[in-house]
Structure formats: C-alpha cells, structure tokens
Amino acid sequence: MSNYKIKNKKVSPTGGDLEGAKLIGPFTQILPLAGLSLKGAITDDRLQVIPNGGVLVENALVVEVGDFEELRNATREAEIEEITGHQVLLPGFVDCHTHLCFAGDRSKDYALRIAGKSYLEIAKAGGGIWDSVVQTRQASKEDLVRLLLQRIDRHSKDGVTTIEIKSGYGLKVEEELKQLCAIKLAAASCTVDLITTCLAAHILPRGFLGTASEQLEHIVNDLLPMVKNENLASRVDIFIEENAFNTTDATDYLRVAKQLGFDVTVHADQFTTGGSGVAVNVGAVSADHLEASGEKEIKLLAESNTVAVALPGSSLGLGMDFAPARKLLSAGACLAIASDWNPGSAPMGDLLMQAAVLSAYEKLTIAEVFAALTFRAAKALNLHDRGSLEKGKLADFQAYPCKDYREILYYQGKLKPERVWKLSEPLI
C-alpha cells in the first residue's frame, strides 16, 4: 500500500502566499545535508536531523525544510502531499561515474577473473573493454536507447536522480556519435537528469596503425568539434593506464579539451599511478578510481580542487583493493562515491550497496557516505544546484521506510527507498 496520499486542499493560517507550492510530509526524520563541508572528514554529530519534518517546494525547487506542523501553520495556500508511516528523507543520490550505454555482457571475463586471470591479461587476450566495443558497435542506436532506459529506470528506483553516463564503447567517430546520440535520446525520454561524458579516449581501437597521440589528435580534430556543436556532451574523459594512454599524451589532450569548452575528468590510478597527478595539473573536476593511489597522490588530491571519486563496484568486480577513501578524507580531500556501472569490471550497479560496503572496509562515517553520494558527487560533475535540501536547490529527494537514518547503511543496500521525487514530482 502507498505510504503517501495527496490531499487537494488549501492551507491558510498565517504566512505568505504560496499558490502553487506543495508541502510534503511529515517525515520521521529529514537529513538535509546542508551546511556540511565540501572537503575533508565529517563526523556524524555534524548531521542535522529534523524530526517530524516537512519539505516545502515550489517550481521544482526547495523553498524551506523544517518542522512539518510549523511549515503547515505558516503556509497560506499550499497543496499537502501527506506521508504516512515511518519515512526517513535524504537528498537524491548523484551517480557521478557510470558507463550505462552499452550492449552485451562480459560474463566470460568474470569467469576468467575469478579463475585467477588479471584484468590486464584478459584485455590482452581479446576480452576486456574491446569485447564491449564489439558488442556495442553491433547494436543499433534504438537498441542502446532501450537498454539504457531500462538501466536508468532501475537506478532511479534506487534513489539516483542524477546520472553521469560515458561513451567509450565506440572508439571511432560514427560509433561514438551513435552512443552519444543514444544518451541524448534517452535523456529526452526519462525524468532523471543525465550528464554525458565523451570517453572516446578509452583505449586504442583495434587495427589503428598510428600512435596513441595520433589517435588523440584524431579525436580532437574529427570528433570533439561535432560533440560540441551538436551539444552531445559537456565533459571529456580519458583512461590513463599502460594499456590505454600515457600521462604526457593525456595532459595535452585534456588541455585542448578544456580550450574547446569541456569540463574534464580522468580515469586515474586504477592499476598504476600517474593519472591523479595529470588530473590535478590540468584542473580536472575529478579523478576517478584511485585504487593504486599512494601517499603522494593522496596529498596532491587533498591540496587541490579536484574531487576524488571512489568506485567500490570496480574493486568488488575485479577483486582488488578499494580506493584509500579514509586516507583521502583524513588528508582533506573531497571524496565522492560512484557506481562505475559497466559490463566488465562493475556489472552490479547498486550504488548504495557499494557505498555501504566501502564504508565498512574504509571506516567512513554515515555523514561522509551520504555526502559522497550527494553534494560532493554533484561537485564532481560541476553541479551546484543539487545534493542537499535547502532553499533554492532542486527538489530531488528519496524516502526510506525506517525510523532512523542509521538503518540505511546498516542494511548494506538491502533497504531501498520507498519514494523518490525528481523536481518535486514522485518517480515511485
């Protein structure tokens, strides 16, 4: 049975005229996540917890968060969306690193990994990213849109209201454009926000006879201008690794991408170090992966404005160490957590479960995890209008069927939101 109902009535004690506004509540607890720092460690005593709270929204934005009865008594004309039963409200999650636009699977790769083969060994033998490239190239644009919308629907039901999605399984101009166009079509058909990133610099395509720098020059000259002119992506990414692109070529490429008006991000320090240094040097909005990051890289990131993005799903899928999340936070870095949902290293795609497991292993507070999934993840996408429940922010939020916010991580991803709102309208 639904735990909320809408009463189409006007409330008119004292207060201002809010014709068209809506008051949602009461919630057992609301965690606005407002007023918390963008960088460094956060103790749980910093969390504001509003009991019996309500959210006043208007024009898809938050107007005020506070005691439900006080808001109702101070509001003259607002629709009431009444919540019954115990519900804990959080901002909607922001998944700032995914590869959701793909076809096929890599179950064969997974079988080889758990039998002892390494990620790089599998890639050299013809599996890995290239396998996904082949399967995605074989799919039509319509197939990619259909598959993408299915994954978006599942993610939104798990409380994710903003999703970053990369290309990178095309690796030639027409195929990268097919992926990017599929993401754009999906964005027009779904309610959640999709943030598109061009990852044409994923790996070198098979059969390419030139150097890595020549491939990057080809992308700069023949793809990125079309991406920019057709508004297919606002961001550019590159994979810096021994089987992908080196630090020198990547630095030049990212600087040119910034000159073209793109935000830039980096697949950094997954197996070897060097990528995070590039990210910091070029002023990337984020450096993602970081499983191999050591003290030098942690210090660099902590002293920069580049967001460190941990991808625990990849660690789980590959059976490798997690990013040093605790050390990054303790050093003063801005830490976000993303799912890395992809067909190879992170096929599970359950953002909350991954974050809960990471928090147990890395000893992250509840405040640090929720920050990493909301406003700090938004910062990794250069978005400043979401991730907390405060005046003027997007009315994106989710409600969990429990009495205490601590239960959400306690159940390690098995407790799912019962209600999700995007721009103040219910998704589920």
What average pLDDT does this structure show over 216-221?
Answer: 98
Per-residue pLDDT band for 11 (boundaries 50, 70, 90) equals very low
- The fraction of the chain above a pLDDT of 70, given in percent, is 96
What average pLDDT does this structure show over 296-307?
Answer: 98
- The fraction of the chain above a pLDDT of 90, given in percent, is 90
pLDDT of residue 17: 53
Residue 115 clears pLDDT 80, i.e. is over it: yes
Residue keyed to tokens 């219910």: 426
pLDDT of residue 299: 98
Residue 18 clears pLDDT 80, i.e. is over it: no
Superfamily covering domain 94-380: Metal-dependent hydrolases (3.20.20.140)
Mean pLDDT for the chain overall: 94
Superfamily covering domain 4-91+389-426: Urease, subunit C, domain 1 (2.30.40.10)
pLDDT of residue 119: 78
How far the first Cα of the chain sits from its last, in Å, is 12
Residue 71 clears pLDDT 60, i.e. is over it: yes
Residue 125 clears pLDDT 60, i.e. is over it: yes
Express each pLDDT in 256-278 by its tens digit. 999 999 999 999 999 999 999 99
pLDDT of residue 121: 86
What average pLDDT does this structure show over 329-353?
Answer: 98
For the chain, give every domain's residue range: 4-91+389-426, 94-380
pLDDT of residue 16: 47
Express each pLDDT in 167-203 by its tens digit. 999 999 999 999 999 999 999 999 999 999 999 999 9
What average pLDDT does this structure show over 314-341?
Answer: 97
Per-residue pLDDT band for 10 (boundaries 50, 70, 90) equals very low
Per-residue pLDDT band for 6 (boundaries 50, 70, 90) equals very low
Higher-pLDDT residue of 149, 428 = 149
Residue 361 clears pLDDT 90, i.e. is over it: yes
Per-residue pLDDT band for 155 (boundaries 50, 70, 90) equals very high
Residue 13 clears pLDDT 50, i.e. is over it: no
Per-residue pLDDT band for 33 (boundaries 50, 70, 90) equals very high
